[in-house]
Structure 1
Amino acid sequence: MAVRKGKKAKSLAHGRPPVVRKPAASLSSTATRTLIRSHHQLQKAHAIALKRHDQSTAEAIRLQIEKQGGLQSYQQASIKGQSLDRGGDSSKVLMGWLASPEAKQHLGADRLKMLEIGALSKSNSCSRSGLFDVTRIDLHSQDEGILQQDFMERPLPSSSDDKFDIISLSLVLNYVPDAVGRGEMLRRTCAFLREIDVGCSPRDADAEAVFPSLFLVLPAPCITNSRYLDARRLASIMSALGYRLSKTKLSAKLAYSLWIYDAEAGPSKEKFEKTEVNPGRTRNNFSVILRPEEQG
């Protein structure tokens, strides 16, 4: 999988405030939800201020984030309140999909390799299933079993042995501060997925492939209430990269989807800019911009 040349993709940490270490406190569910929401809003405002080169505003927001405890407090709240921030362990939905008869035909005796981006815990449903050898990474590791690493800075695989059968990208894409960066993150996932092994087809010729795949979770409003992104446009963007939608589920708070990757199907040269697809004064501005790769 070729990577975009010329202009290096921004790291996940670009525009993010520094981590501030404070003692963990006991939070109620209401306080947890408030802290998570506030942190996301402030982080977004911080990124906008930096983009506008408004250093005074960016510094004021950074200080406000520090006052709330910074990234560490946010992550502690996320761990404590996973039912609020991660859909009650969002990987339960994935494991439910993989329990289907069709999916089980792809789950042989060998454990599959999973890359979990933005991991908060070693004890979620995927980790407990016994199906995966999980590589967990996060910008600020909360556990010795989670590698502290920025996915956008992770070295590209040098061989198929360094690639994965499935990538989990649960409530990570929405944390990237700009639309171009989100598109580059989605593109970069392709480089870490193995190619489809035609010799490992399911016993049932009519069964669809399950791996290699990307498990993507977004806040529901990113899909249902955005001016610039809906389910159809997301599918078009993913298709341009070589992904095909396999499973989807929409809850009151989260949008879950499983995308099958076929390297031969992408990437295309189709361009997706910030285009209004769902007008409305009360809608949010979440978007994904995908541009053709630059050839060196």
Structure 2
Amino acid sequence: MPKARKRKTPIVAPSSDAATSSRPEVTRSVIREFHVLLKRQTQLGRSGTKDAATASELDRIQQRIQELGGLERYQHMSATGQKDDRGGGSHKIFIGWMKELGLHKREDKGKLKMLEVGALLPDNYQSCSSWIDCRPIDLNSRHPAILQQDFFLLDPLTNQEKWSAISLSLVLNFVPEPKDRGRMLRMAHSMMVQDGHLFIALPLPCVTNSRYLTIEHFKAIMSIIGFKQLKEKWREGGKMVYYLYQKEEPSPAQDGTLFSKKRELRAGPSRNNFAVLLADA
């Protein structure tokens, strides 16, 4: 799962029991703080600035990450959110959609080769092992069956048109830079076989409460990259949105500036800053 995270906001320490509580609302709060800390850490690292103020802020960030339990604690909390008592993992939705498309009945073509990016559990697709050959990867593997691998460092030649299905469940929103989110989607497109399937799960506010992204705008971006939307699942007041796409030929943007630069699509102080940009649109 790509590094780091969300909006640039002040670092505010929650109560001391936040990192150990298992209550869903506390878990979400701590995960959000991890996102803020990790994004800021990445931004400072990329800036190349080495003055005393930057070093001091990096030290404070690292200290707070350790106070929260480190990346291991973050991953544990995220994995907990995949348990049935928290609504179950998004992989169940992906499996259901693939079965609706009949992808489990393709004995003549062999197993589906799937790349699961940002895997927290090693056995999400174990129940489908008769028709899915899953390769789970994550930046910080918590299990020997999960390959520790940065998606952005995957070899483009050996992975070109290799995968029948790719899962980006709660992955895109963890990428710190909007243009890297676009790059991730384009990389996924190049790695998939023709007519392959891409699954994306995002926090619903990424597309319903962002200044720079709407459901329609995201659909246009996916079309430009070369993905046709097959399925969409979300509800008003819900927390998540799920998409299923099929690879097709890219659709050129008529006005590249609409997709290569941030453009306010919604006004209001309560909006978030999530965006997906295409560097060479």
TM-score, normalised relative to structure 1: 0.77
Kept in 1: contact 2:136–2:146 (CA 8 A): yes
Shift of 1:280: 1.3
Identical positions, percent: 38
> Tell me, what secondary structure is at the counterpart of 2:202?
strand
Separation in structure 1 between the aligned mates of residue 159 and residue 169 of structure 2, nearest angstrom: 26
Alignment of 1:15-164 (within 5 A): 27-30=21-24, 31-50=26-45, 53=49, 55=54, 56-83=56-83, 88-100=88-100, 103-104=101-102, 107-109=105-107, 110-124=110-124, 126-130=125-129, 131-158=131-158, 163-164=162-163
Amino acid at match of 1:284: N
Matched position secondary structure for 2:269 = coil
| Structure 1: unaligned runs, 5 residues or longer | 1-10, 17-24, 197-211
CA distance in 2, matches of 1:255, 1:231: 10
Quick one: distance in 1 between partners of 2:209 and 2:85? 18
User: Match of 2:39, as an amino acid?
Assistant: K
CA distances 1:37-77 after superposition (whole Å, capped 9, x unpaired): 22123223334445664613233222211221221110011
1 CA distance for matches of 2:206 and 2:85?
14
Where does structure 2 lack aligned partners over 5 or more consecutive residues? 7-18
Q: State the distance in 2 between where 1:85 and 1:154 align.
A: 34
Shift of residue 111, structure 1, vs aligned partner: 1.2
Q: Does 1:12 align with 2:11?
A: no
Query: Residue 195 of structure 1: SS of its match in structure 2?
Result: strand
Once the two structures are superposed, residues 64-105 of structure 1 have per-residue CA deviations (whole angstroms, 9 ceiling, x without a partner) of: 1122122111001111232599852001111222232xx116
CA contact (8 A) 1:242 1:267 kept: no
What residue in structure 2 maps to residue 167 of structure 1? Answer: 166
For the 8 Å contact 1:170–1:216, the answer to whether it is kept is: yes
Distance in 2 (CA, whole Å) between partners of 1:239 and 1:45 is 31
Please state whether the residue corresponding to 2:163 is helix, strand or coil: coil
Aligned to 2:275: 287
Asked whether the 8 Å contact 1:87–1:254 carries over to 2, the reply is no
- Between the aligned partners of 1:151 and 1:28, the Cα distance in structure 2 is 30
RMSD: 2.8
How many residues in Structure 1 have an aligned counterpart in Structure 2? 255
